[in-house]
Structure 1
């Protein structure tokens, strides 16, 4: 039987079924667990105003513990998932309902939301990895609120989350890579015109695609140099490890299982683990192959700096036999020929950074001019929409920030 109580009424021995408020605001990964003294303290300190307890699985509030079950106040109207008791120490960072869908947001506003979402999502993914390393079954359903939040963010603005996620540090790569791929999968699925339930499945598959790395040796996973042949063989096992881990955790989501197992397959049959030819690779796995590689090569890693977004797309386009051409084309359209954050040279002999896409003119995004190549000097920054009818400037080519001594290019385009 479910009861809604204030957080100051919670005491050890009660079974917490659900926490109120946004999952971004409280410190728990799972919201269903048997509370001990530490969990009670953490919930009270988190500022969560109310929570739902299940008195059939734990203690009842003192005020009505003497009452027969039928006399207790009515349960909360919202149905709760079937409880699965677990020790309180399994409750880790965040989980709870996602924010409701909202209308289209401009890039700057959504970037602010994306930063908070990535910070909270990183904590959730790290907690899932920690559970797996300890030999515990993960709870993939606990990620659903995060998946909903990612889908909502990309719906409000398709470029904000994926642009911010690309800026992860090498230390954050393992966890934020999962968040980035979830965002890229969401944008790609919508570009392909998939129904919303398939969009959600693609996002969840992206979030869980690398769970096999949770059981990889940390000295190999975080190695700053090139891997030996044995170490590379170890890392190549992560698709099968992830598939097994998800199955052992009770995952029956066909898309998530397929993505975990086959996101490193290639169209020409040279991928791993099963060297599947293109016609045997599912659409979801083909999508994940593109999204996984793009985020990997554009991110800073322990052993290399990431490539610029436009150069990455150009190189990926040249890899014959690697990607499904139709899916790759849709992926490029979802990001833009010159993704947000790309350094470009203009016909007017200026350097600029791309700050926003124009969906109807992929070669003519909005840019922020900041440097004159002719005078080799900074200029007063100004924003230009290259797609406007009266604009006679255009992009000549993308540039490598390192060639111009630019190490913090994001400071020019992030709000």
Structure 2
């Protein structure tokens, strides 16, 4: 009988279990791991097995653990047999005796073994929420910091800044890699860079490394890391999220900084304003959630709550600084930028009269509303002609995401349904996923649809360039059958003809970004821009406050620019 668990196979046949344990008895290389311990595999000797009765262990090498073990502490055994990695279920000692200076102990007999095939090439992938900081030490240069993405007995793959490409290309000597796990475990090994794959959209470089000659101790540690990564990763599977104990490697000690706060690969200097830099952790969370969703996980309820609160705090501190910052996230993937912009603008439009818990639900739903697009075939976004079959497949991203939000118990289901479920619906029933008409759409869904379209049209897309606010308003007003005219009017009155974040040409021919406007919609604070095409971080000059018209002349036109 064999039952599958992730990449493990569960072997429960008594004859097969006995055969595999016999190999451990003869070959050695067995390790003991305490449940909830420090996370180190401790080398021991499996002396004998008595099928269906007991295992006999020589624990002389770990006599300092005997007190815990005799007190009832649970443990499991790992080891290599017949080219496979074995792992027992949790066991406990039933007897201890001393013989010739050795500590011989008996434990219960395992009813099954979990088996990993092909130890040398098996690659354990780290999911989002399992951050391991990796440092690449290059002779004569500063170390390069990145993150561990997968690990095998022979090598690993790291995510590094794109700037690492040139350094690695000119370095032929073996490099020193060091890993820092959330519990503080530190590991170093020599390795050579083999393959490099750029990810231009995220400004990342994925680099594969091959480990050099490893000592037996290093091999044992690496395999322990591989097994614990798999153990922790299995907890993120939807059906196991509430029932599996965390790996000690990924449990941060009290007082230690939360590793999930690590924003690793993001260079804060690439973000144009202080508020934009404070949005980076929210962006990193959303970026990570896309990969986590693809790997089968739900939306992380705790982190979504944390980052929804964070965005609300930024809004309460300075709403216009937040609105402008949402235009300064060009280093981020499009879905991340769009989610943050929609959340900020929807909060600003509808949140004033809402209780805080409902405002928070609006923000959270806005942040993640488009992440379900990571769950549909990505070829849809590259199709030359978008046909009815493509549209139907794309519409599936809405129910797929709503399903992954069910574990967020604090999130109002009615708000999530209105924002996530209604943001793509249209008054005439031409929207998706359900083709709901205006009579059935609630007010929040109607408002969300307008915010979503405005934010989408302000950015370039493969089939069209970015549009100005005036162009977008004309588009909305010319489609009253699709968008609620009352909410269009409210949106324009609220954000004004030249909204915060607009790039404006003044009558003196100078360009400036609108930072703040008064009740009449006149700019009261702008930041000078050098051109309409320079990256935002390099395109912020002197700030002008007060009577802007007196200093720059009247606003002549908005310049469309994708951000």
Q: Please say whether Structure 1 and Structure 2 have the same fold, judged by a TM-score greater than 0.5.
A: yes
Aligned to 1:153: 314
Q: Does 1:350 align with 2:509?
A: yes
Q: How far, CA to CA, are the matches of 2:390 and 2:326 in structure 1?
A: 27
Aligned to 2:277: 116
Is the Cα contact below 8 Å between 1:358 and 1:387 reproduced in 2? no
> Superposed, which structure 2 residues align to 1:51-62 within 5 Å?
none
2:441 is matched with which residue: 255, 274, 281?
A: 281
Structure with higher helix content: 1
Q: Does residue 41 of the first structure (1) align with residue 181 of the second (2)?
A: yes
- Match of 1:243, SS state, is helix
Structure with higher RCO (Cα < 8 A, 6+ apart):
1
Report the 3-state secondary structure (helix = DSSP H, G, I; strand = E; otherwise coil) of the residue aligned with 1:126.
helix
CA positional deviation for 1:364: 4.2
Task: Please list every run of 5 or more consecutive structure 2 residues that lacks an aligned counterpart in the other structure.
Answer: 1-35, 41-126, 132-177, 187-241, 252-257, 263-270, 531-540
**Counterpart in 2 of 1:329?**
489
1:201-280 alignment, distance < 5 Å:
201-221=361-381, 223=382, 225-247=384-406, 253-280=413-440
1:345 and 1:398 in contact (8 A); partners too: yes
- Give aligned pairs, total: 318
- In the alignment, is the contact (CA less than 8 A) between 1:226 and 1:303 conserved in 2? no
Q: Deviation of residue 209 (structure 1)?
A: 1.4
Give CA-to-partner distance per residue, 1:7-57, whole Å, 9 cap, x none.
Answer: xx99339xxxxxxxxxxxxx98489xxxxxx997235499xxxxxxxxxxx
1:126 matched to which residue of 2? 287
| 1:360-405 residue CA offsets vs partner (Å, 9 max, x unmatched) | 221444345679xxxxxxxx977364578x789433433446xxxx
Conserved? CA contact 1:355–1:368, under 8 Å: yes
**Comparing 284-293 and 300-309, the one that deviates more:** 300-309
Structure 1 residues 264 and 219, CA, compared in 2 at 3 Å: closer, same or farther? same
Label 1:271 to 1:319 Cα distance change in 2 as closer, same or farther (>3 A): same
- Which TM-score applies when normalising by structure 1? 0.63
Which sections of structure 1, spanning at least 5 residues, go unmatched?
Answer: 1-8, 14-26, 32-37, 47-82, 97-109, 372-379, 402-406, 411-415
1:266 & 1:391 partners in 2: Cα distance?
44
Instruction: Give every structure 1 segment of 4 or more consecutive aligned residues whose post-TM-superposition deviation is greater than 4 Å.
Output: 27-31, 83-93, 167-171, 248-252, 368-371, 390-393
Which residue of structure 1 aligns with residue 260 of structure 2?
94
RMSD: 4.2
Contact kept, 8 Å, 1:286 with 1:323, in 2: the verdict is yes
TM-score normalised according to structure 2 size = 0.48
Give the whole-Å Cα distance in 1 for the aligned partners of 2:543 and 2:330: 29
| 1:263 Cα deviation after fit | 1.0
Verify the 8 A CA contact 1:361 1:387 in the aligned structure 2: no
Report if the CA contact (8 A) 1:246-1:257 is conserved.
Answer: no
Q: Does the aligned pair in 2 maintain the 1:386–1:394 contact within 8 Å?
A: no
CA distance in 2, matches of 1:227, 1:166: 28
Instruction: Tell me the equivalent position of 2:452.
Output: 292
When structure 1 is superposed on structure 2, of 306-315 and 285-294 the one drifting more is: 306-315
The partner residue of 1:172 within 333, 339, 343 is 333
Aligned with 1:291: secondary structure? helix
Shift of 1:234: 1.3
1:68-99 deviation per Cα after TM superposition (whole angstroms, max 9, x unaligned): xxxxxxxxxxxxxxx87565599997369xxx
1:94 match: secondary structure: helix
Q: Which whole-Å CA distance do the structure 1 matches of 2:330 and 2:495 have between them?
A: 21
Q: Which has the higher strand share?
A: 2
Shift of 1:156: 1.7
Question: Structure 2 vs 1, CA of residues 198 and 247 (structure 1 numbering), >3 Å: closer, same or farther?
Answer: closer
CA gap of 1:200–1:293, structure 2 versus 1, over 3 A, is: same
Provide Cα deviations, 1:84-133, integer angstroms capped at 9, x if missing partner.
7565599997369xxxxxxxxxxxxx974432333212221122222221
**Corresponding residue of 2:554:** 394
Match of 1:12 in 2: 39
On the 8 A contact 2:182/2:259 being kept in 1, the answer is: no
Whether contact under 8 Å (2:525, 2:543) holds in the other structure is no
- The 2-side partners of 1:90 and 1:314 are apart by 52
Q: For residues 204 and 84 of structure 1, what CA distance do their matches in structure 2 show?
A: 26
Change (3 A) 1:382 1:245: closer
- Tell me the equivalent position of 1:366: 525
Instruction: Report SS of the residue matched to 2:511.
Output: strand
Tell whether the 8 Å contact from 1:267 to 1:322 is kept in structure 2 after alignment.
Answer: yes
